[in-house]
Amino acid sequence: MFQNTIISNEPSIYKFFNQLNFDFYLTNPQLKHLENIINAMISKGFNGKISDIAELAPARHRTSITRFLS
């Protein structure tokens, strides 16, 4: 699903978050949500709809993504 994206793998996003010390502020599940949201936004293109992100985020429901963002 993420073959044609700019960021092709999640470890690179995770390393980027570690460089910014996000692991100090967020828990591991929160970091996973953020990684999935970024991958989905990059692969489809973000147009402002959470349902588009929920389609591409693996094993995440739209309401769990909106709860994370609120």
Per the structure, the complete domain to which residue 19 belongs is given by 12-69
- Structurally, the chain folds into a number of domains equal to 1
Q: Note whether 13 and 35 are within 8 A (CB).
A: yes
Terminal CA-to-CA distance of the chain, rounded, Å?
Answer: 27
Question: In the predicted model, is pLDDT for residue 1 greater than 70?
Answer: no
Assess if residue 65 is contained within a domain: yes
Assess if residue 47 is contained within a domain: yes
pLDDT by residue (tens digit) across 15-66? 777 788 887 888 888 887 787 777 777 776 677 777 777 777 666 666 666 6
The per-residue pLDDT for 57 is 67
The per-residue pLDDT for 2 is 46
**Residue 45 to residue 16: CA distance in whole angstroms:** 20
